[in-house]
Amino acid sequence: MHIPDGYLGPQTYMALDAAIIPIWGVAAAKVKKTLRSKQVPLMALGAAFSFVIMMFNVPVVGGSTGHAVGATLIAILLGPWAAVISVSIALITQALLFGDGGITAIGANCFNMGVVMPFVGYYLYRLIAGDTASTGRKVVASGIASYVAIVAAAILAGVEFGIQPLIAHTASGAPLYAPYPLKVAVTAMASEHALFFGWVEAFATMGVVAALAKQDSALLEMKPASKSMRWVWAAFAALVLLTPIGALAEGTAWGEWGTDQFQSELHMAVPAGLDKLSGLWSAAIPDYAPSFIQNPLAGYLVAAIIGSAVVIAATWGIAKLLARKRDDADTTHPSAA
């Protein structure tokens, strides 16, 4: 679901780049009112979890791949506005440092995965879970909410792809950017996520929610941890060590093909606008493959460690600036409005 450079024309990516800036501003203002200083580590860890879980590529029939995002989980723990900031930091790090997602498409990717997903997921979770104390209901609610949220974000990405031939084409009608029409793009994105990646998102979210409910249920009430979070950090470290599994999946996610794949695998000419924008940014560690490491699995692991460190540092710093200076005894849910 990471839209690369060249797939969206200026009419689309500039509008979404412009739209995401005030959204970040509102998110910062909302988080400043609700985030407690003791929740800063959890917010940093949530952003890093989103970064790492997106490195676990899952292959599907047809040679494509995809991944979970973790946006709904962060929204459940800290609220949707905190999730906007956390997931956006993860996505920006992926784009700038690893070339995963385009520079011009940062607004689109952050809107799809960092705004739509956490808000759809959070409010659906609250609707299903209600005020129940039942762990089972919360776990099921988190699974349903995260599944619907990622499918909704995928459909939106499909719409963004699919309108390109309508609004950006040559005089002869040839698409300049993403070449597939709405029917094809939306169907492809919706079906893959509904049949495969939505379930990955759901089970990953349910697993974490179940573990948190057992170890420290306060976290599911959007409260600071009531126990030491060492076990959470240890679990995250273990997850990072498993990231090379994600490098084993072959194939490219639908709608993320490089210019060479258009001719070699898709057997079609590269759209002129896409070809022009595709080389816009040269990432320091493209495709999560450090040039100084020969073994691809070891390189993928090192990339996961570097990326996690950057995301944790950036999120921790921003959250520290936004968090309330004093933790109070308020036990109500922070407002998500």
- For the stretch 127-155, pLDDT in tens is 999 887 789 999 999 999 999 999 999 99
Runs of H (alpha helix) within 35-134: 40-53, 71-78, 80-98, 106-111, 117-129
So what's the pLDDT on residue 266? 75
Check whether 208 has a pLDDT greater than 60. Answer: yes
- Does residue 332 sit within a domain? no
Name beta bridge partners: 59.
65
| pLDDT, greater one: 107 or 66 | 107
Asked, for residue 297, whether it belongs to a domain, the answer is yes
pLDDT of 161 strictly over 90: yes
Confidence (pLDDT) at 279? 86
272-331 pLDDT, tens per residue?
A: 999 999 989 999 999 999 999 999 999 999 999 999 999 999 999 999 999 976 555 444
- Decide if 330 is inside a domain: no
Q: How confident is the model at residue 191 (pLDDT cuts 50, 70, 90)?
A: very high
Indicate whether 228 belongs to any domain.
yes
The answer to whether the CB of 53 falls within 8 A of the CB of 70 is: yes
Q: Is residue 335 part of a domain?
A: no
Q: Token pair of 26, please?
A: 């509102």
Q: Note the pTM of the prediction, 2 decimals.
A: 0.93
CA angle 229, 39, 20 (to 5 degrees): 130
Q: Which domain holds residue 136?
A: 10-322
Q: List 28's β-bridge partners, or say none.
A: none
On whether residue 333 sits in a domain, the answer given is no
CATH number assigned to the domain comprising residue 273: 1.10.1760.20
| Residue at 121 is within a domain | yes
- Number of structural domains found in the chain: 1
Considering the chain, what percentage of its residues have pLDDT values greater than 70?
A: 95
Tell me the C-alpha distance between 194 and 41, whole Å.
Answer: 32
pLDDT at 168: 94
Answer yes or no: is 16 within a domain. Answer: yes
DSSP run (H or E) holding 54 = none
